[in-house]
Amino acid sequence: MNKGELVDKIAAQADVSKATASRVLDSVQDCVSDALSKGDSVVLTGFGTFSVKHRNAREGRNPQTGATLRIAARNVPSFKPGTELKRAVTGS
C-alpha cells in the first residue's frame, strides 16, 4: 500500500474528503518527525512506539576493495510494534 492508497482508505473509513485525509496523514508524519528530531518517542498504544536509538561509531569494510573505514556514530529512527499490531499480523 502506498501513500495514495492509504489516504483513500482513511478517507473512506473516516468519512472525510481525500484532501482532509491527506492533510491529516501529513500532519501525523510531521508530528512524529518533529518529536523524533527532538529525541522524544511517540507511543501509539496498541500500534507501536517510534523512538530514536543511538548507534556507536564502528569499523566497516568497503565490499569492493576490502578496505576498512570508520562509520561515524549517529542517531537512527526505530519502531517497536505494539501487541495489537503483532496480533493482527500473526493472526494469533
pLDDT, tens digit (0-9, with 9 covering 90-100), for 67-76: 999 999 999 9
CB 48 within 8 A of CB 82: yes
CA distance readout (Å), 76 to 4, 9, 34, 49, 79: 26, 29, 14, 14, 10
**46-83 burial: b if 16+ Cβ within 10 Å, else e:** eebebbeeeeeeeeeeeeeeeeeeeeeeeeeeeeeebe
Q: Are strands 74-81 and 42-44 parallel, antiparallel or unpaired?
A: unpaired
pLDDT at 80: 97
Tracing cell 530514536 back to the chain, one arrives at 52
CATH class of 41-92: few secondary structures
pLDDT at 91 over 90: no
pLDDT, tens digit (0-9, with 9 covering 90-100), for 5-19: 999 999 999 999 999
Please report, rounded to a whole number, the percentage of residues in the chain having pLDDT higher than 70.
100
Query: Where along the chain do its domains lie?
Result: 1-39, 41-92
Burial class (CB in 10 A: 0-12, 13-18, 19+), 34: exposed
pLDDT at 20: 96
pLDDT, tens digit (0-9, with 9 covering 90-100), for 37-49: 999 999 999 999 9
